[in-house]
């Protein structure tokens, strides 16, 4: 990939002297920052702004590493062919007019895919803004050259964005407002070849990048993306377009990508330890905060001290800290003592620290300095939120002294600023130059503090003893040879049991006379179900009879079930199951996602299903740590500990079932879907009470 980022020699196809055109902007941007040779290509010109211009790439005498293409879509394929002929390793196609514009454009895009496959040339784009690398000074993009005017603001956040327009204007906004510097901005467009995964891997190895922010509307290879994120040693922040039903429909008409199933994608991101943002500025703010404190790491506790000049703002801060799961630090006696030395005696000293009376008495410099030094020395404080005001007001503390104190103590210090317009601007710039994070929205300041202090460690790759599984794809093939579509409950549980997932004690009989012996084997009370191949929703058809306590109950149930089965033209088959005591009902399952492959699901079922709407997803296979993390992601996970006298659910047991489900989904691609609903406690272990497996052959399951 390095030829995209540090090419030796660039050809610009579509170079033009017309300053209204993108091809001119690219040329200007290249000439300002790119140090190696530039070869403008355009058959209409012999020279452009004093540079020799070539009629085609074939005529360029020197070697070229990268061709940037900005000509109308119908002309692009031939040019890429030429580039491949000239052994140029990579092209960056910034023109639009491809799959995003409908059928004709899709045709052009397919041609590009074919050329990449045939020739091995790597294609970035099309329909993108290319690359901006502030550190190298590379602007391989038609973004307005005015972004150079105040100098490109360098930083350590690199961005991968699937929105050309946004990448351009949003970056211009961030840079000119001095809000954040960036390292590389990679606009990947329709990604016919180079995709987010490859660039992500490149950036994870890039010494100039410590945090990666992605805006994605589709994920090309979910499994690979998940794997990369999961083991990434740099924080990753993702903003995904297309969450709601509406959002998704807009995404479909916007790019040529699919939005995927958002529960699956969000689940994969959360499982991989990726932070999911929801708004543009928030996305950038969280990324720059993480980048600012690359060494802050997740501790068990994240205890924050608030230093304010206003009781009111302290109160609201405390509310926000609680809502983000941060703790209000309990101050040590040493800290309290230090604060008392600057405060009037009537002032109760506690966290949040209202420093105003101390400021009135001692001036802001002494009051703030004393407070920050004490908090930095306090081992019970993990981060400091400072409220500042810039303007005609006695709050002119020494910012750089505070910054140094916090830095020396290795504690994140984040500043919330109010102030008069002029002075606030100056203060913000001073903060940036001193390396202090400053925000104008209090909520955002706390949110970013939370992102920094709650940062997760990447999952270490560990060897695990694989689960002992008796079965194999071959054995399943045998079992399911003649099956297609939806498997009945009994067979579904048989399949699960070959993978070590136990079912409720049950017996299937085909004859009314076999019912009573089966019942006495299972033991009262029992549930009896009529099993019919094509009826998935048995209870809708009246095919489930619960709470059978006696022979009388059994006879009544058999006669009712046989009548229904008769009416439905189904051969009689009776499933007799042990009726379980009440327990928490869970749902566990597997879905095969087009982007993320087999994914395991876990959630609450029964009466909780519709009310809690609490379910989580993660790509399979799952390690034990994965499975436990997945369970821990349930919002109401504490219900597993036992609830209103119900027996507790053993998390290790549940984890093992989820691992086995994942393994089954991974081993046997013919299964498109598994639902275990409910999964209940029986004899202290979880068992599948009902289950449905769907095979890929016939996917139009009527649920």
Scan residues 619-638 and list those touching its own copies (CB under 8 A).
Answer: 636
HSE-up of 68 (CA within 13 Å, CB side)? 30
246 or 470: CB nearest its own copies? 246
- Return the percent helix, strand and coil in the chain, to nearest 5: 40, 20, 40
Long-range contacts: 423-431, Cβ < 8 Å, 24+? 423/390, 423/391, 423/392, 424/390, 424/391, 426/390, 427/388, 427/390, 427/399, 428/178, 429/178, 430/399, 431/399
d(CA 73, CA 94): 10
Burial class (CB in 10 A: 0-12, 13-18, 19+), 539: exposed
Give the residue, chosen from 58, 165, 426, 625, that forms a contact with its own copies under the rule CB under 8 A: 165
Query: Tokens for 658?
Result: 């989820």
Which is nearer to its own copies, 2 or 319 (by Cβ)?
319
Find the binder of its own copies among 117, 301, 361, 440 (CB under 8 A). Answer: 440
Our CB check for its own copies shows the closer of 116 and 349 to be 349
Of 46-54, 132-140, 239-247, 524-532, the segment contacting its own copies by CB under 8 A is 239-247
Residues 83-102 that bind its own copies (CB under 8 A): 101-102
DSSP bridge partners of 215: 161, 239
Q: Look up residue 592 and give its two tokens.
A: 């095969």
309 binds its own copies (CB under 8 A): yes
Find the shortest distance in angstroms from Cβ 504 to its own copies: 21
| Torsions phi, psi for 370 (to 5 deg) | -60, -45
Pick from 398, 393, 345, 391: nearest CA to 370: 398
Closest distance between its own copies and the C-beta of residue 429, in Å?
Answer: 11
Asked if 307 interacts with its own copies (CB under 8 A), we say no
Residues 188-227 vs its own copies: string with x where CB under 8 A? ---------------------------x-x----------
Q: Which of 196, 198, 354, 378 binds its own copies (CB under 8 A)?
A: 354
> Residue written as tokens 């960056």?
92
Counting residues that bind its own copies (by CB under 8 A) gives 86
Q: Which residue has the tokens 């033991």?
A: 523
Sole residue written with tokens 């009989």: 509
441 touches its own copies by CB under 8 A = yes
Verify binding: residue 428, its own copies, rule CB under 8 A. no
Residue numbers 265-284 binding its own copies by CB under 8 A: 278-282
Which part of the chain contacts its own copies (CB under 8 A), choosing from 43-51, 202-210, 349-357, 677-685? 349-357
301 touching its own copies, by CB under 8 A = no
Select the residue interacting with its own copies from 219, 251, 515, 676 (CB under 8 A): 251
Contact 212, 204 (CB under 8 A): yes
Q: Are 448 and 321 in contact (CB under 8 A)?
A: no
Per CB under 8 A, 313 contacts its own copies: yes
Residue 148 half-sphere exposure toward CB, CA atoms < 13 A: 20
Taking the complex as a whole, how short is the minimal distance between the CB of residue 667 and its own copies, in angstroms? 36
Report the distance separating Cα 108 and Cα 76, nearest Å.
8
- Is 322 or 699 the residue whose CB approaches its own copies more closely? 322
Nearest approach in angstroms of CB 320 to its own copies is 8
Non-local (6+) Cβ contacts of 585 within 8 A are 604, 605, 606, 607, 608, 609, 677, 678, 679, 680
By CB under 8 A, tell whether 608 contacts its own copies. yes
Q: 116: how many CB neighbours lie within 10 A of its CB?
A: 18
Give the residue, chosen from 46, 58, 104, 426, that forms a contact with its own copies under the rule CB under 8 A: 104
Query: Which one among 28, 208, 227, 254 touches its own copies, defined by CB under 8 A?
Result: 254
Shortest CB 606 distance to its own copies, Å: 9
Which listed residue (75, 263, 316, 572) binds its own copies by CB under 8 A? 316
Per-residue tokens: 580? 């379980």
Q: Report the interhelical angle of 364-377 vs 333-342 (nearest 10°).
A: 180
Stretch that binds its own copies, among 197-205, 421-429, 472-480, 488-496 (CB under 8 A): 421-429
Of these, 43, 120, 311, 542, which contacts its own copies (CB under 8 A)? 311
Q: Site for its own copies (CB under 8 A): which residue of 392, 465, 513, 703? A: 392
Question: Does the protein bind its own copies through residue 391 (CB under 8 A)?
Answer: yes
Return d(Cα 688, Cα 685) in angstroms, integer: 10
141 lies in the binding site for its own copies (CB under 8 A): no
**648 near its own copies, judged by CB under 8 A:** no
Q: DSSP states of 631-682 as a string?
A: HHTSTTGGGGG--TTPPPPPHHHHHHHHHHHHHHHHH-TTEEEEEEEEEEEE
Residue closer to its own copies by CB (options 67, 431) is 431
Q: Does 330 bind its own copies (CB under 8 A)?
A: no
β-strand pairing of 157-161 with 671-682: unpaired
Burial category of 537 from C-beta neighbours within 10 Å (exposed 0-12, middle 13-18, buried 19 and up): exposed
What is the C-alpha separation between 251 and 242, in angstroms, rounded? Answer: 6
| Nearest-approach distance from CB 572 to its own copies, in angstroms | 27
Q: What is the number of helices (H) and of strands (E) in the chain? A: 24, 30
Q: DSSP code of 237?
A: E
At 350, list the tokens: 């506690």
Q: Does 426 bind its own copies (CB under 8 A)?
A: no
Work out which of 424, 449, 487, 671 binds its own copies, going by CB under 8 A: 424
Assess whether the previous peptide bond of 251 is cis (omega < 30° from 0).
no
* Residue 449 found at the interface with its own copies (CB under 8 A): no
* C-alpha to C-alpha distance for 342 and 337, rounded to whole angstroms: 9
419 binding its own copies? (CB under 8 A)? yes
User: Is 433 a binder of its own copies (CB under 8 A)?
Assistant: no
Instruction: Pick the closer one to its own copies by CB: 338 or 442.
Output: 442
Residue 44 or 322 with smaller CB distance to its own copies: 322
Give least dist CB 621 to its own copies, A: 31
Among 296, 418, 543, 661, binds its own copies (CB under 8 A): 418
Residue 37 or residue 254: which is nearer to its own copies going by CB? 254
Q: Which stretch binds its own copies (CB under 8 A): 75-83, 133-141, 332-340, 344-352?
A: 344-352
Closest distance between its own copies and the C-beta of residue 162, in Å? 7
Choice from 468, 552, 644, 702 touching its own copies (CB under 8 A): 644
Nearer to its own copies, 354 or 626 (CB): 354
Of 51, 169, 204, 516, the one binding its own copies (CB under 8 A) is 169
Minimum CB separation of residue 287 from its own copies in Å reads: 16
Phi and psi at residue 202, to the nearest 5°: -60, -45
- Options 78-86, 304-312, 454-462, 589-597: segment touching its own copies (CB under 8 A): 304-312
If one asks whether residue 315 binds its own copies (CB under 8 A), the answer comes out as yes
> Backbone phi, then psi, for 148, in 5-degree steps?
-80, -20
- If one asks whether residue 176 binds its own copies (CB under 8 A), the answer comes out as yes
């Amino acid at each position: 990939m390095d030829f995209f980022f540090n090419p030796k020699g660039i050809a610009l196809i579509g170079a033009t002297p017309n300053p209204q055109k993108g091809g001119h902007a690219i040329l200007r941007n290249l000439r300002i920052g790119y140090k190696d040779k530039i070869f403008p290509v355009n058959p209409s010109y012999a020279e452009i702004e004093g540079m020799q211009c070539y009629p085609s790439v074939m005529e360029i005498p020197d070697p070229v590493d990268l061709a940037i293409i900005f000509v109308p879509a119908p002309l692009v394929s031939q040019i890429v062919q030429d580039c491949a002929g000239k052994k140029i390793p990579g092209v960056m196609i910034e023109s639009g007019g491809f799959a995003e514009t409908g059928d004709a454009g899709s045709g052009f895009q397919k041609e590009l895919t074919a050329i990449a496959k045939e020739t091995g040339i790597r294609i970035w784009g099309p329909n993108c803004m290319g690359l901006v690398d502030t550190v190298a000074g590379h602007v391989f993009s038609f973004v307005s050259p005015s972004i150079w005017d105040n100098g490109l603001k360098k930083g350590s956040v690199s961005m991968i964005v699937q929105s050309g327009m946004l990448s351009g204007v949003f970056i211009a906004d961030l840079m000119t407002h001095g809000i954040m510097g960036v390292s590389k901005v990679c606009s990947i467009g329709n990604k016919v070849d180079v995709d987010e995964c490859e660039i992500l891997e490149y950036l994870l190895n890039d010494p100039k990048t410590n945090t990666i922010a992605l805006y994605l509307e589709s994920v090309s290879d979910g499994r690979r993306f998940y794997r990369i994120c999961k083991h990434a040693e740099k924080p990753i922040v993702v903003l995904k377009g297309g969450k709601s039903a509406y959002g998704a429909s807009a995404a479909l008409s916007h790019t040529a990508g699919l939005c995927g199933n958002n529960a699956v994608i969000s689940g994969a991101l959360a499982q991989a330890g990726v932070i999911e943002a929801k708004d543009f500025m928030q996305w950038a703010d969280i990324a720059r905060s993480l980048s600012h404190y690359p060494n802050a790491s997740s501790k068990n506790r994240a205890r924050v001290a608030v230093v304010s000049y206003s009781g009111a703002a302290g109160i609201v801060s405390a509310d926000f800290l609680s809502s983000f799961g941060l703790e209000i630090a309990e101050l040590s006696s040493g800290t309290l003592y230090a604060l008392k030395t600057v405060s009037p005696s009537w002032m109760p000293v506690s966290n949040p620290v209202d420093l105003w009376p101390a400021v009135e008495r001692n001036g802001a410099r002494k009051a703030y300095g004393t407070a920050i030094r004490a908090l930095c020395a306090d081992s019970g404080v993990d981060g400091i939120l400072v409220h500042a005001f810039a303007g005609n007001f006695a709050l002119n503390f020494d910012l750089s002294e505070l910054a140094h104190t916090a830095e020396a103590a290795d504690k994140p210090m984040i500043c919330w600023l109010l102030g008069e317009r002029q002075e606030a601007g100056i203060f913000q710039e001073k903060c940036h130059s001193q390396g202090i994070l400053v925000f104008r929205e209090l909520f955002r300041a706390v949110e970013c503090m939370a992102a920094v202090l709650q940062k997760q460690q990447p999952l270490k790759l560990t060897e695990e003893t694989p689960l002992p599984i008796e079965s194999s794809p071959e054995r399943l093939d045998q079992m399911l040879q003649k099956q297609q579509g939806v498997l009945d409950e009994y067979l579904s549980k048989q399949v699960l049991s070959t993978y070590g997932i136990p079912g409720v004690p049950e017996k299937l009989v085909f004859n009314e006379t076999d019912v009573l012996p089966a019942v006495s084997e299972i033991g009262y009370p029992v549930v009896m179900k009529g099993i019919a191949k094509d009826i998935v929703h048995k209870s809708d058809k009246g095919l489930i009879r619960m709470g059978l306590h006696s022979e009388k109950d059994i006879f009544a149930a058999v006669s009712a079930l046989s009548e229904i089965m008769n009416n439905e033209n189904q051969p009689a088959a009776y499933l007799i199951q042990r009726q379980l005591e009440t327990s928490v009902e869970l749902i566990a399952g597997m879905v095969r996602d087009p982007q993320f492959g087999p994914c395991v699901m876990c959630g609450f079922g029964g009466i909780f299903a519709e009310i809690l709407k609490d379910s989580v997803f993660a790509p399979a296979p799952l390690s034990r740590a994965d499975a436990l993390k997945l369970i821990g992601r349930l919002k109401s996970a504490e219900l597993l500990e036992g609830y209103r006298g119900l027996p507790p659910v053993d998390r290790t047991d549940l984890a093992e079932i989820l691992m086995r489900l994942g393994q089954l989904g991974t081993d046997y691609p013919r299964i498109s879907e598994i639902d275990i609903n409910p999964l209940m406690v029986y004899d202290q272990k979880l068992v599948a009470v009902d289950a449905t497996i769907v095979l890929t052959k016939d996917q139009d399951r009527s649920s």
